[in-house]
Amino acid sequence: MNKQVDIQDLGFRDYGETWDYQEQLFREILDIKMKNRRENAGLETPNYLLFVEHPHVYTLGKSGDMAHMLLNEKQLEARGAAFYKINRGGDITYHGPGQIVGYPILDLDNFFTDIHKYLRFLEEVIILTLADYGISAMRSEGETGVWIDTGTPFARKICAMGVRASRWVTMHGFALNVNADLGYFDHIIPCGIRGKAVTSLNVELGRETVDMEEVRQRIRTHFLRLFEAKGTGAEKVLP
């Protein structure tokens, strides 16, 4: 089993371009697995963790409800936002500046073959990262992602998650609000969940901004420890 994870910082990059890159890596891993199966090639499959920050964009998962998108095409254009229907699980969410998006593209045969456990591990990475800042975050039963003050009238989501997996190879991932413009969430019903707020790390800490690179490094540390993996890379990947 290959426990090495190639960590890449894609910088500030268009959603569609990043999705294409994810698909490329995802397909390459699947091709290796098929070759191993057909030819008993014994080739190692690589693993990746992509960090990226996107321009304003809304994405709707394959099980999502279009009614949860509250803007029409002209209104999206006026706000400088794009829209994509994509092949992950989950409903609608927003990505934009000030948000750390992580796309683990892993062959879970290298770790464990349990999607439920995989999602819980991703949540735990974020929970531990927020704990580093004194934030007590938690899960919300039946709702994937990471929340604050679950079970109270003040429950608010700080990290959304949605993944796709085929033959135990994953793509898509998590989006942690660090210095996000929360006004963009007003134009959707986030993750299809009505009546619950969305928050950002800088808001919770009462700061104007939080150091994004520091947060990325903390996520990296917790991710590698939980998955018992070794990280390589983390250099910015130029367009």
Catalytic residue list: 191
Token output for 86? 């994509």
Report d(CA 212, CA 217) in Å as an integer: 9
Phi then psi dihedrals of residue 71, to 5 deg = -115, 145
Residue pair 237/9 in contact (Cβ under 8 Å)? The answer is yes
Token output for 67? 């009614």
Report d(CA 81, CA 205) in Å as an integer: 27
Report d(CA 226, CA 47) in Å as an integer: 15
Sign of the alpha-carbon dihedral angle for 196, 201, 204, 206: negative
Identify the CA nearest to 100 among candidates 170, 22, 171, 179: 179
* Secondary structure of residue 181 in the 3-state scheme: coil
Token output for 72? 């029409």
